[in-house]
Chain A
Amino acid sequence: MNQETPILEVRDLSVAFGPLVAVDRMSFSAQRGHITSVIGPNGAGKSTLFNLVSGALRPGSGAVLFDGADITRERPDRLVRRGLSRSFQITNLFAELPVVENLRLAAQVLESPWKALLPTSASKRTRDRVEELVERFKLEEKRDERAGFLSHGEQRRLEIAVALAGRPRLLLLDEPTQGMSHGDTLDTAELIRQVAQEASIILIEHDIDLVMNLSDNVVVMHQGRKLAEGPPQEVRGNPVVQAAYFGTQVHAEN
């Protein structure tokens, strides 16, 4: 693929829940190798946008292009196989299963299909990936613990690790620091920066400092629409954005 092709391009995407137009003619693109942040007040339609891109929801109209290819209405499992993965705002793990098993399930897509009926011990690539992630996401001590027994912060880390395990080219992270302490948030920011070395990232985030620090580009959403788009500093200075978002919401949030 051409280096110039955006890793993700969203064109005029809309979806409505009854009378509520949750995403309204959204268009933006995310560049390869970048961290693109999507911000906006509660209910702006950010998670719904992720649901549309990741195949969890079907758009009413519009198109999604992944690496230049039309993926509108593609099934989520196919998208993962193509290299588009996501995490969830509300932790969505296999609570009954150990940490390593959560990771193994996510990593075993890397294996060739004929290994599906060989013992998991035959899947070296999967095992190595699991070990690598356990270490990188500082889950060594909890590796055999059931995911449901982890602390909130650990679960949020595992949530990112699971989304990353299949080596996606594009990773959608929905509020990875949600509910984290300040210290954990900083650690997570560092993790995301590392992750950006191996995948392009689109990040939904409420922590404005984190957004300003991490992002190459910021998309601001409000009532389903794009309010502004641009480099972090530019967006922060935008008076429309300040009025709709920074001025009122940021303090109410935290």
Chain B
Amino acid sequence: MLESTPLVQSTPLVQPAKLGRVAAYEWSHRSAQVFIAAALVFTGVAVFVGDTFFLRLATEALIYAGLAMSVDLLLGVTGMLSLGQALFFGLGSYASTLVLKHVTPSFWVAMAVALAVGTVAGAIGAVLSIRARGVYFALITFGMAQVVSKVVYNTRSIGGSDGIIGIPVIKVNLLLFEVDTASPAGFFLLVLALVMLLYFGLAYLLRTPAGRVLVAVRTNEARVPFLGYQIRNARFLAFVVAADLAAFAGALYPMLRGFVSPELMYFNVSGDAVVTVVIGGLGTLIGPIYGSVVITALKSIIGTYTDHYPIVIGALFMLAVIAFPNGLMGAVDTLRARRKGGSP
């Protein structure tokens, strides 16, 4: 009774949430609303006490949340483990930097160019990687990021190993008013709005027929061709959209920090994004945002005591995966279900 199916079954290294946890399209927007409310309260308090440090740090958390969401689209939704997503984050940050510094200090032009670069690079990266599965896909994405970061590292004209500094402070024209990237609260709120826009955009995508096919590819790739969909198209779509998300998030980085460097493309950035998604909850889209807040906070706190924060993050990651296999969002679901008296 041997069933012969030549299509290779994809086995993601990290198993996405199994039956106990919501499928990717089932999450509620409640967690997103709670997050927005909390972020607004935080802004109010920060402005009231005259803080800038935490607002800047929170902005950074949101920017990395955008990167983590792109990993979630690949890993949590479609089942593709990318270990080189920082590549597109870095490309976005360089694109935005070069536009702001040498072309025009326009926020929207910088974002548009970053998206264009993300799309082209994403398409190229997809062609090179999506035929591979599992570990091989992970290694190709890892390799691509390594290669490009080394090229950037050795290219003098874009600053080489030093990166680029002196990115001008810009005013973001929002028609009715302007936001100054140097204003901690103003820029935080702008980034918050943009990242939530990405979240709702992705949530929308997953409610469309095309988005459903991505989820289908993760849950049972072997069956998908026999429903009439070419897996390659689905993986291509996921890869390019994810590259765009990462580039978009990356484009915001130089506006916050005023510099870029090849390190933005390094493996620890890609790796942290994967950890962020797993901690937040795979396939939940909102989980990566919460996860990014947690990781960024931990890094900052631990960073004040020791330079070896990766050790601590690594240990916490293991504990979190053991204690909350479905991430923060999974833990919240379990709690809620328990309080209602139902089974999770």
Chain A contact residues, CB within 8 Å of chain B: 17, 42-43, 47-48, 51, 54-57, 75-77, 80-81, 85-86, 88-90, 92-98, 101, 104-106, 108-109, 111, 115-121, 123, 126, 146, 148-149, 162-163, 166
Q: B3 to A85, Cβ gap below 8 A? A: no
Cβ of B225: which chain A residues have Cβ within 8 Å of it?
Answer: 55, 75-77, 80
Q: B228 to A80, Cβ gap below 8 A? A: yes
Chain A interface: which of B107-115, B157-165, B208-216?
B208-216
Given A92-B220, A95-B220, A116-B208, CB of A76 within 8 Å of CB of B213: no
Distance from A130 Cβ to chain B, minimum over Cβ atoms (Å): 12
Q: B19 to A95, Cβ gap below 8 A? A: yes
Q: How far is it, in angstroms, between the C-alpha of A105 and the C-alpha of B224 when the chains are bound?
A: 9
B4 CB within 8 Å of chain A: yes
Distance from A101 Cβ to chain B, minimum over Cβ atoms (Å): 7
B223 CB within 8 Å of chain A: yes
Distance from B21 Cβ to chain A, minimum over Cβ atoms (Å): 9
Give A178's nearest chain B residue, CB to CB: B1
Chain B contact residues, CB within 8 Å of chain A: 1-7, 18-19, 23, 204-205, 207-210, 212-213, 215-216, 219-220, 222-230
Distance from A23 Cβ to chain B, minimum over Cβ atoms (Å): 11
Q: B23 to A109, Cβ gap below 8 A? A: no
Give A76's nearest chain B residue, CB to CB: B225
Q: B23 to A162, Cβ gap below 8 A? A: no
Cβ of B4: which chain A residues have Cβ within 8 Å of it?
Answer: 17, 47-48, 51, 56-57
Q: A117 to B7, Cβ gap below 8 A? A: no
Q: How far is it, in angstroms, between the C-alpha of A43 and the C-alpha of B7 when the chains are bound?
A: 20
B18, B213, B229: the one contacting A96 at CB < 8 Å is B18
Q: A105 to B226, Cβ gap below 8 A? A: no
A76, A81, A93, A149: the one contacting B220 at CB < 8 Å is A93
Q: How far is it, in angstroms, between the C-alpha of A115 and the C-alpha of B209 when the chains are bound?
A: 7
Q: How far is it, in angstroms, between the C-alpha of A121 and the C-alpha of B228 when the chains are bound?
A: 20
Cβ of A121: which chain B residues have Cβ within 8 Å of it?
Answer: 207
Q: B3 to A90, Cβ gap below 8 A? A: yes
Q: How far is it, in angstroms, between the C-alpha of A162 and the C-alpha of B229 when the chains are bound?
A: 14
Q: How far is it, in angstroms, between the C-alpha of A55 and the C-alpha of B23 when the chains are bound?
A: 29
Cβ of A43: which chain B residues have Cβ within 8 Å of it?
Answer: 2
CB-based closest 10 A-B pairs: A80-B228, A76-B225, A109-B228, A116-B210, A90-B3, A108-B209, A94-B219, A77-B225, A77-B230, A96-B219
14 contacts between A and B (CB under 8 A): A42-B1, A47-B2, A47-B4, A51-B5, A57-B6, A77-B230, A85-B226, A90-B3, A92-B226, A104-B212, A111-B209, A116-B210, A117-B210, A120-B207
Distance from B265 Cβ to chain A, minimum over Cβ atoms (Å): 30
B3, B208, B215, B228: the one contacting A77 at CB < 8 Å is B228
Give B215's nearest chain A residue, CB to CB: A97
Cβ of A117: which chain B residues have Cβ within 8 Å of it?
Answer: 205, 208-210
Since A57-B4, A109-B227, A121-B207 are in contact, a sample of 12 more A-B pairs with Cβ atoms closer than 8 Å, ordered by chain A residue number, is: A42-B1, A48-B4, A51-B6, A54-B226, A94-B216, A94-B220, A95-B219, A96-B18, A96-B23, A96-B219, A101-B212, A118-B208
Q: B219 to A89, Cβ gap below 8 A? A: no
Distance from B146 Cβ to chain A, minimum over Cβ atoms (Å): 34
Q: How far is it, in angstroms, between the C-alpha of A143 and the C-alpha of B222 when the chains are bound?
A: 23
Q: B223 to A92, Cβ gap below 8 A? A: yes
Most chain A CB neighbours (cut-off 10 Å) among B208, B209, B210, B215 = B209
B204, B205, B212, B226: the one contacting A76 at CB < 8 Å is B226
Cβ of A118: which chain B residues have Cβ within 8 Å of it?
Answer: 208-209
Q: A105 to B213, Cβ gap below 8 A? A: yes
Q: B219 to A97, Cβ gap below 8 A? A: yes
Q: How far is it, in angstroms, between the C-alpha of A80 and the C-alpha of B4 when the chains are bound?
A: 19
Q: A162 to B227, Cβ gap below 8 A? A: yes
A92, A108, A166: the one contacting B212 at CB < 8 Å is A108
Q: A92 to B222, Cβ gap below 8 A? A: yes
Give A58's nearest chain B residue, CB to CB: B6
Q: B209 to A116, Cβ gap below 8 A? A: yes
Give A148's nearest chain B residue, CB to CB: B19
